[in-house]
Structure 1
Amino acid sequence: MKTLVELSPEQHKHLNVVPNSGAKHVAQQNLINLRVTEVAKAACCMPIFFVRDNHSGNWVLTGFTSFVQGQNLLVRDDQWRALYTPTALQTHPFYLMQSPKDPQQYTIGLDPESSALTTEPGETMFDEHGKASLYLSNIKTLIETDLNNDMLTHKFSQKVVDLGLLKAVNIAVNHQHNASQSLNGLFTINEEKLQQLPSDSLKELSKLGYLSPLYAMLTSLYQLNALIQYHNQVADNNSITHIKLEASKV
């Protein structure tokens, strides 16, 4: 578990951030956390699902980036290749943390042991006067905005659950030489139930701005076809012939 320390010019002015550190950080992650405010933009690049957080039990919006754990098909040569870059990548290696001076306040923290930090040339955090660089100022703005987006995502997730719109699915993956695998633990939107909602519920969803991300999640499933192509470009005698999205009994 990371031990975060508060970012300060006194302690960290000699450190820089390794370029493309966000992409390097997620290079071995086949799921990337998203906020509801990102869904419409991310849907053009990756399939989007809900998953359960194993520790908190909360519902988490995630971008699906590979059929193989420990792999991210959207990162190549330490570069993020998709059109949209999730906030989680843009803000790495910084995090929002409880202020050590005031538990009621939040501040920007980092993991001092992170490989994203270096004394070599990179993204500068502070100038010679200890003032935040433009790079760091932009990061702070993103993180502060993300706090509000996190709350919006929680409300969105709760509404989806309350309306019974989640549908558990498995991805049945068939490889050449008749090898197969099944990926589970993924939840998408039940389109049939969404269409059958009473008019007052649909009006409420529209007023809350939830219809757009709901339909974007459904549309994003077509990106599974793109992932098959990416997989087959790098697969070593393990090409995918086809996949099938199946309803799960979970």
Structure 2
Amino acid sequence: MTNIVMLNNVDHQALRVVTTRAARYGDNVMTCATYPAEFRDIQAHYPIVFHKLADSNYEPVALLGFQEGENLFLGPQGWEVNYVPLAIERLPFLIGRNGEELNVHIDLDNPRLSRDEGEALFLAYGGVTPYMERVTSMLKSIHEGLQDVPDFIAALREHDLLESFVADIELEDGSQNRLYGFHTINEDKLYKLPGAALESLNREGHLLSIYMVLASMSNFRDLIDRKQRAVNANG
């Protein structure tokens, strides 16, 4: 459940946000949304794949696990790599609209909220804390970054570069794990595009994003290793 309201320094003066990363705070997710401006940071650790939406459109996501509720980057000490995707780090905050104006909203039912521990949102005598300044900057980056997704997806579809894939993973104990329902970029079709098409993709800023997606696929090996270690740890 969610209880989303616009943030204000009267009703929410005493609220704090726990920034520890753990499943109990809702970090046990298989995927999270991302966008082209974030791809450079995402591809350093996570595979970037495409999830088909109900309206037959697509969204890019960072892959964190192989099944629902599984985040293989969560360990006993928290998040195990040095970049947390912004779609996760920004929680429990989100951008909302008050008429035409964009505002910071907060989910009052989010388990990260506390009155006893965590980062304060507001200063005692007015103003926001440095933590809240970072949250605002993060939300602005996400909001602006998501505006680029429709054009990027449209370019991929125009050149028929998206293809579905299935990954079959066999672990040391012989167990089989299958990842399906996602799409990736068809490298063969990309390399066969005529020069004019590649020039157009480059001019529109999409070609770099495409190569970031392709580079990210090498992270599947690490994801499989993480899955193996998780299985070993659980006996």
TM-score by length of 1: 0.86
* Shift in Å, 1:177: 4.6
Total equivalences in the alignment: 235
Alpha-carbon spacing, 1:160–1:24, altered in 2? closer, same or farther (3 Å): farther
Could you say if the C-alpha distance between residues 113 and 225 of structure 1 is closer, same or farther in structure 2, counting changes exceeding 3 Å?
Answer: same
C-alpha distance in 1, partners of 2:50/2:125? 44
Instruction: Identify the residue that residue 93 of structure 1 maps to in structure 2.
Output: 92
For 1:151 and 1:129, locate their aligned partners in 2 and report how far apart those are by CA, in whole Å: 36
Aligned to 2:140: 144
The alpha-carbon distance between structure 1 residues 238 and 163, as it changes in their structure 2 partners (threshold 3 A), is farther
Check the 8 A contact 1:93/1:114 in 2, yes or no: yes
Match of 1:248 in 2: none
Q: Give the distance between the partners of 2:196 and 2:25, measured in 1 at CA.
A: 43
Distance in 2 (CA, whole Å) between partners of 1:191 and 1:238 is 37
Q: 1:24 to 1:92 in 2, by over 3 A?
A: farther
What are the Cα deviations for residues 129-182 of structure 1, in whole angstroms up to 9, with x where unaligned? 231111101111221222111111221112111211101001112234543232
> Are 1:182 and 2:178 an aligned pair?
yes
Equivalent residues of 2:163, 2:186 under 8 A apart: yes
1:216 maps onto 2:212 in alignment: yes
Give structure 1 stretches of 5+ with no counterpart. Answer: 240-250
- Residues 1:115 and 2:111 are matched in the alignment: yes
Distance in 2 between residues matched to 1:94 and 1:72, nearest whole Å: 21
Residue 67 in 1 paired to residue 63 in 2?
no
Moved more, 151-160 or 24-33: 24-33
Structure-2 change in CA distance of 1:5 and 1:225 (3 Å): same
Structure 2 counterpart of 1:197, one-letter code? L
Task: Go from structure 1 to structure 2 and tell me whether the alpha carbon gap of 1:238 and 1:90 turns closer, same or farther (over 3 Å shift).
Answer: closer
Q: Residue 107 of structure 1: CA displacement?
A: 0.8
Where does residue 15 of structure 1 map in the other structure?
A: 15
Give the 3-state SS of the residue equivalent to 1:234 in structure 2.
helix
Aligned mates of 1:24, 1:137 — CA distance in 2:
25
Aligned-residue offset at 1:5: 0.3
Aligned counterparts of 1:143 and 1:217: Cα–Cα separation in 2 = 23
Deviation at 1:67, TM superposition (A): 1.9
For residues 141 and 91 of structure 1, what CA distance do their matches in structure 2 show? 10
Deviation beyond 6 Å, 4+ runs, structure 1: none
Q: Give the share of equivalent positions with the same residue, in percent.
A: 23
Counterpart Cα distance in 1 of 2:135 and 2:23: 15
1:118-133 equivalent positions in 2, closer than 5 A: 118-133=114-129
Name 2:131's counterpart in structure 1.
135
Shift of 1:78: 5.8
Secondary structure at 1:184's aligned position in 2?
A: strand
Instruction: Tell me the secondary structure at the aligned position of residue 187 of structure 1.
Output: strand
Change (3 A) 1:186 1:158: same
Match of 1:162 among 158, 161, 164: 158
Distance in 2 (CA, whole Å) between partners of 1:209 and 1:50 is: 18
Residues 16-47 of structure 1 deviation map (CA, whole Å, 9 limit, x = unaligned): 00122587645321112111111122111011
